[in-house]
Chains A and B, each alone.
Chain A
Amino acid sequence: MSLLETRGVTAFYGDFQALYGIDMGVEEGETVAIIGSNGAGKSSFLRALCGLQKTAPDSVRFGGDAIGGLAAHHIVGLGLAMVPEGRRLFPSLSVEENLLVGAYSKRPGPWTLERLYALFPILGERRHNPGTALSGGQQQMVAIGRALMSNPRLLLCDEISLGLAPVVIRDIYAALPGIKAEGTSVLVVEQDVGQAMKVADRLYCFQEGRVSLAGRPGELTREQISLAYFGV
């Protein structure tokens, strides 16, 4: 049984259809990447998974249970956590409080403040600063840490490298093995194809609300990806 399995996920904004039936899956222990150009529907898909976007009950199965359309605050408790596009830290909370609020659902598991400060030492040093007073990369670490505090079985990351310098991106992705070592599976959305190829066991490419390509990075050719990504 797959950890995550979707069948025909759709998403609408009023009359506008953003997703036309997405089928995909994530196995236990896997890192899966979704790539695609601007407006392909990557964020809409992640929002559907975590309950922020309406979708049919049976279209999303997580750990075997149908979770489509459940309230977002309920889904976190089941072990599906999201690092949202643009980080969305809470400005009136300190770094430490941002992390603590991530543990609101009280899911048992390995992640504690101490473990997170070991993973991202800079956050320990800046723990009393307002979350939004940090650099972009550090804020992204807070956003990831905050999601980990709910001890997820599956971590969704929406463009965690967006707007960051290459060295910073490297630092952030360097945390991935430590996260996976705790048994957490990861689904990342990336516009940076090179980065996605490096970290992912499997890859999906979205184009205009559909899956245009799926496979293992080593087995996909540059031409295939370019066609699936740009449509030309």
Chain B
Amino acid sequence: MTEWIDTLMQGILLGGLYSLFATGLALSFGVMRMINIAHGDFAILAAFAAIAVVEPFGLNPFVVLLVVAPLMGLFGYLLQRTILNRTLGKDILPPLLVTFGFSIIIQNLLLVTFSADTRSLNVGELGTASIALGGDLAVGVLPLIIMLAAVAVLGALQWLFSATPLGRAFRAASDDAEAAQLMGIDNRHIYGLAMGIAMAVVAIAGVFLAIRANISPADGPARLLYAFEAVIIGGLGSLWGTLAGGMILGVAQAVGLKADPGWGILAGHLAFLAVLAVRPNGLFARTRDR
């Protein structure tokens, strides 16, 4: 029994990381109807960027994250303004193709720069520290920090979207881009900001991933897949749904892994398919009367 509670808890905490990956994807789809195929690769890129400064100077990864996340945010804004905005239009293919291209470029750049070896970020004792919960149960401090970060990020975004003028502008531009312009909203700028936020969050996800596990330059596409599954499970347009989606995926993987070490990832995919079969719009999709 304790073992199963432990598995469940591990899965839920893993879901925190998944939802961080999923948030940026949900955001760029939600605001500009754009799917960034290179989403996972940008996370890995941010993680390697952090590794590149943490290792030689012996810095604290969490401190480095405070610099890497805003920098990735700025990079995301500029990328959207200079390149990605030009790919948006009635045809949904150009953004897919262009970001697919980025995915390949990033993977190869990382491969050339860092070789195919796996790397990770060391946070010292924190990496293995745990809090005893009584009985045989214990919760890892690091997964807990990641989960709390995910909740904080999603909470902040929820507030941004529902209670600020910028959030209203995001939703308006998403509803009707042309009518939004008539309100004085510069869509190119709004899309840039959305991508900036998406990139900052995915940088957080990438750095946390490298703290928790080993990463290699080719890991991006798998991350994209999990993020995509978490978004779809939770339902598009719902930020808290994204958190739930990440948790469901995490729990499915943890349970599968417990049943058989080879089944973890598969169990996640099966959970995804099951949700898709029962509720094609996801569990928490916001219904819009259009």
- Please report A residues at the B interface, Cβ cutoff 8 Å: 50-52, 71-74, 76-77, 81-82, 84, 88-93, 97, 100-102, 104-105, 130, 132-133, 146-147, 150
Whether B175 and A76, one on each chain, are in contact in the complex, defined by CB atoms closer than 8 angstroms, is no
Judged by a CB distance under 8 angstroms, whether B90 is at the interface is: no
Whether B289 and A132, one on each chain, are in contact in the complex, defined by CB atoms closer than 8 angstroms, is yes
Judged by a CB distance under 8 angstroms, whether B134 is at the interface is: no
Neighbour of A104 across the interface among B165, B178, B286, B289, CB < 8 A: B165
Nearest-Cβ distance from residue A122 to partner chain B, whole angstroms: 19
Query: From DSSP, what is the main secondary structure of chain B's interface residues?
Result: helix
Interface size on B, residues (CB 8 A): 23
Whether A100 and B165, one on each chain, are in contact in the complex, defined by CB atoms closer than 8 angstroms, is yes
Whether A50 and B182, one on each chain, are in contact in the complex, defined by CB atoms closer than 8 angstroms, is yes
Q: How many residue pairs between the two chains, A and B, have CB atoms under 8 Å in the bound complex?
A: 79
Neighbour of A91 across the interface among B182, B183, B289, CB < 8 A: B289
Q: List the B side residues contacting A72 at CB < 8 Å.
A: 178, 181-182
Q: List the A side residues contacting B165 at CB < 8 Å.
A: 100-101, 104
Nearest-Cβ distance from residue B23 to partner chain A, whole angstroms: 18
Whether B183 and A104, one on each chain, are in contact in the complex, defined by CB atoms closer than 8 angstroms, is yes
Query: 1/0 per position for B174-189, CB-CB distance to A under 8 A?
Result: 1110111111111100
Whether A90 and B172, one on each chain, are in contact in the complex, defined by CB atoms closer than 8 angstroms, is yes
Nearest 8 pairs of A and B residues by beta carbon = A105-B184, A72-B181, A76-B184, A88-B179, A90-B175, A73-B186, A104-B184, A90-B172
- A and B contact pairs by CB, cutoff 8 A, 9 listed: A50-B182, A74-B184, A76-B184, A77-B184, A84-B179, A93-B171, A104-B165, A104-B168, A105-B184
Instruction: Name the CB-closest residue of B to A107.
Output: B184
Complex CA distance for A51 and B182, rounded to whole angstroms: 9
Whether B181 and A90, one on each chain, are in contact in the complex, defined by CB atoms closer than 8 angstroms, is no
Instruction: Name the CB-closest residue of A to B173.
Output: A90
Nearest-Cβ distance from residue A181 to partner chain B, whole angstroms: 24
Judged by a CB distance under 8 angstroms, whether B169 is at the interface is: yes
Whether A101 and B169, one on each chain, are in contact in the complex, defined by CB atoms closer than 8 angstroms, is yes
Complex CA distance for A130 and B184, rounded to whole angstroms: 21
Q: List the A side residues contacting B179 at CB < 8 Å.
A: 84, 88-90
CB contact list, B190-220 vs A, under 8 A: none
Complex CA distance for A84 and B165, rounded to whole angstroms: 22
Q: List the A side residues contacting B182 at CB < 8 Å.
A: 50, 52, 72-73, 76, 81-82, 84, 88, 147
Instruction: Name the CB-closest residue of A to B176.
Output: A88
- Please report B residues at the A interface, Cβ cutoff 8 Å: 165, 168-169, 171-172, 174-176, 178-187, 237, 286, 288-290
Nearest-Cβ distance from residue B52 to partner chain A, whole angstroms: 39
Neighbour of B183 across the interface among A74, A102, A132, CB < 8 A: A102
Q: Knowing A102-B183, A104-B185 are in contact, say whether A90-B176 is a contact too (CB < 8 A).
A: yes
Q: Knowing A97-B168, A101-B169 are in contact, say whether A91-B184 is a contact too (CB < 8 A).
A: no
Complex CA distance for A23 and B179, rounded to whole angstroms: 26
Nearest-Cβ distance from residue A189 to partner chain B, whole angstroms: 15
Whether B183 and A52, one on each chain, are in contact in the complex, defined by CB atoms closer than 8 angstroms, is no
Complex CA distance for A146 and B168, rounded to whole angstroms: 13
Q: List the A side residues contacting B183 at CB < 8 Å.
A: 73, 76, 101-102, 104-105, 146, 150
Q: List the A side residues contacting B288 at CB < 8 Å.
A: 91-92
Q: List the B side residues contacting A105 at CB < 8 Å.
A: 183-184
Q: List the B side residues contacting A93 at CB < 8 Å.
A: 168, 171-172, 175
Complex CA distance for A71 and B178, rounded to whole angstroms: 11
Instruction: Name the CB-closest residue of A to B190.
Output: A73
Whether B172 and A132, one on each chain, are in contact in the complex, defined by CB atoms closer than 8 angstroms, is no
Instruction: Name the CB-closest residue of B to A102.
Output: B183
Complex CA distance for A72 and B179, rounded to whole angstroms: 10
Nearest-Cβ distance from residue A222 to partner chain B, whole angstroms: 36
Complex CA distance for A54 and B217, rounded to whole angstroms: 46
Complex CA distance for A104 and B270, rounded to whole angstroms: 45
Q: Knowing A73-B186, A91-B290 are in contact, say whether A104-B181 is a contact too (CB < 8 A).
A: no
Query: Given contacts A104-B168, A105-B184, A132-B289, could you give 18 more A-B pairs where the C-beta distance is less than 8 Å?
Result: A50-B182, A52-B182, A71-B181, A72-B178, A72-B182, A73-B185, A76-B182, A76-B184, A89-B179, A90-B171, A92-B174, A92-B286, A93-B172, A97-B168, A100-B168, A101-B185, A104-B165, A147-B182
Complex CA distance for A93 and B175, rounded to whole angstroms: 9
Nearest-Cβ distance from residue A221 to partner chain B, whole angstroms: 37
Whether A73 and B168, one on each chain, are in contact in the complex, defined by CB atoms closer than 8 angstroms, is no
Most chain B CB within a 10 A radius of its CB, from A84, A104, A105: A104
Complex CA distance for A4 and B16, rounded to whole angstroms: 56
Whether A92 and B185, one on each chain, are in contact in the complex, defined by CB atoms closer than 8 angstroms, is no
Q: List the A side residues contacting B187 at CB < 8 Å.
A: 73
Q: List the A side residues contacting B172 at CB < 8 Å.
A: 90, 93, 101
Complex CA distance for A100 and B171, rounded to whole angstroms: 13
Q: List the A side residues contacting B181 at CB < 8 Å.
A: 51-52, 71-73
